[in-house]
Amino acid sequence: MSERWDAVAFRKRMDTVLHGVLAEEAEQLVGIDPALTPMAEQLQVAARHGKRIRAAFCYWGWRAAGQPDNDALMRAAASMELVHAAAIVHDDLIDDSPLRHNLPAAHVALRSAVTGHPRPHAAARSLAMLVGDHLIALAGRLFAASGLPAAYLARARPIWAELAREVIAGECLEILSTGTPPDADVSLKVVRYKTAKYTVEQPLLIGGLLAGAAPRLRAGLSAYGLPLGEAFQLRDDLLGLFGEPHRTGKAGLDDIRGHRPTTLLAKAWQAAGPAERGRLAEVLGRRDLGEEDLREVRELMLELRAPEQVEDLIAARVADAVGHLDGLGMPAPARRALTELARSATDRRH
């Protein structure tokens, strides 16, 4: 791979790895029984999309420690994308989100496989849960069988355990705080544990540990990764309400219908007076919201300057993250790539 960061080339290379792994796994699953074809298809669909930023952060954590490009490392980094695919399947299931990447979410797509079941809705949800579980198991297997030396893999295993614990903790915190009065501190904690750490910080640390990074470099990668991961999710929350569904691939009112504890909602609630809070309370959690409601909620959020406040949080976290790259002594290509990734991961238009 070129010393200059090429996001498109990296994505194509990572897609090749993932498609090969998932095609082989789907074939093995169908070999057990052809009736498993819908689940095999969903394994592949779940990891078909995305910018591969989690794999990219793992890759550049490795390169930041001075290691060269390596095909075995690419396979290990691909496991980060399978973790993300599993998280998407489970998250859509928990939130009852109908769409992902403009396609039916797994628990919706799998309804066609259980039309004769006495409880088809519950059966489809159960199948989706198992697809997510399968992806998690496959991620661990791909990491272990990546081809990297066993001693390298052993250095990173503790972070794997931490990653699993914290993703689950974040998801649980979101469920526990859904429907409660919006609170910015709670929302940021959910952001940190549900998404931020496994999106940036932990892939970076896994790549660095695989490469034998020194403690000082690992501390710097962590200080860069955590605020950047938070900025990434804050941008995602903004796009969730203000992005165009045909570009984001998700329904624009999902977060409002689900009364999810986003920082955007918390900032709006904090700035709102009694009348504005009454309007927000009226729509939160309602399942029958339409385009007119979306327009009104967007206008109210803008009047309360909630998006502006979230933009400020994003900008501050990106600046903080990039500032921590100074003085770490990492190779110039890694420094450039991580700087560029900080911008591209948080300045998304869709």
Is residue 2, in this structure, part of any structural domain at all?
no
Instruction: Assess if residue 170 is contained within a domain.
Output: yes
The pLDDT of residue 245: 66
For 256-305, the pLDDT digits (tens) are 877 788 899 899 999 999 999 998 888 877 778 888 888 888 899 999 99
User: How many domains are contained in the chain?
Assistant: 1
13 belongs to a structural domain:
yes
Q: What is the pLDDT of residue 70?
A: 94
In a domain, 163, yes or no: yes
Per-residue pLDDT, 249 = 59
Q: What per-residue confidence (pLDDT) applies to 204? A: 98
Q: What residues make up the domain containing 82?
A: 7-346
Residue 77 in any domain: the answer is: yes
**Within the chain, which residues score under 50 in pLDDT?**
350
Any domain includes 1: no
Residue 96 backbone dihedrals phi, psi, to 5 degrees: 55, 40
pLDDT in tens, 137-171: 999 999 999 999 999 999 999 999 999 999 999 99
| Domain CATH for 24 | 1.10.600.10
Three-state SS sequence of the chain: CCCCCCHHHHHHHHHHHHHHHHHHHHHHHHHHCHHHHHHHHHHHHHCCCCCCHHHHHHHHHHHHCCCCCCHHHHHHHHHHHHHHHHHHHHHHHHHCCCEECCEECHHHHHHHHCCCCCCHHHHHHHHHHHHHHHHHHHHHHHHHCCCCCHHHHHHHHHHHHHHHHHHHHHHHHHHHHCCCCCCHHHHHHHHHHHHHHHHHHHHHHHHHHHCCCCHHHHHHHHHHHHHHHHHHHHHHHHHHHHCCHHHHCCCCCHHHHCCCCCHHHHHHHHHCCHHHHHHHHHHCCCCCCCHHHHHHHHHHHHHCCHHHHHHHHHHHHHHHHHHCCCCCCCCHHHHHHHHHHHHHHHCCCC
User: Exposure of 320 by Cβ count < 10 A (0-12 exposed, 13-18 middle, 19+ buried)?
Assistant: middle
Does the model's pTM come out above 0.75? yes
Task: Return the pLDDT at 350.
Answer: 46
What gap in Å lies between CA 191 and CA 176, rounded to an integer?
Answer: 14
